[in-house]
Homo-oligomer: A and B are copies of this chain.
């Protein structure tokens, strides 16, 4: 999994039927110190994150295995809200 920050969302009315009803989040990869990386994903949210919050993204075939995304044609999903990062040298409350 990778650390990402929610930075926005995408609106799509014409889309694969399996995506109906899902919010499509725009997320940005972040470093372990939460600094932005220049890498973006569109992901389905399974835990209810708001803008600016930190989460974990799974990519690939795993993204369509959660209770909420089963059989949905996606390759990226947010599966956890990150509340705290503990590193040897410092801790971050996100």
Contact = CB atoms under 8 A, between A and B. Distances in A.
Interface in A9-53: 9-19, 24, 26, 31-32, 40-43, 46-48, 51-52
Copies in the complex: 5
B85 A8 contact: yes
Contact of A73 (B10, B11, B62, B84): B62
A55 to B, nearest CB: 8
B75 A43 contact: no
A67 B14 contact: no
Interface of A: 1-3, 7-19, 24, 26, 31-32, 40-43, 46-48, 51-52, 56, 58-67, 71, 73-76, 79-88
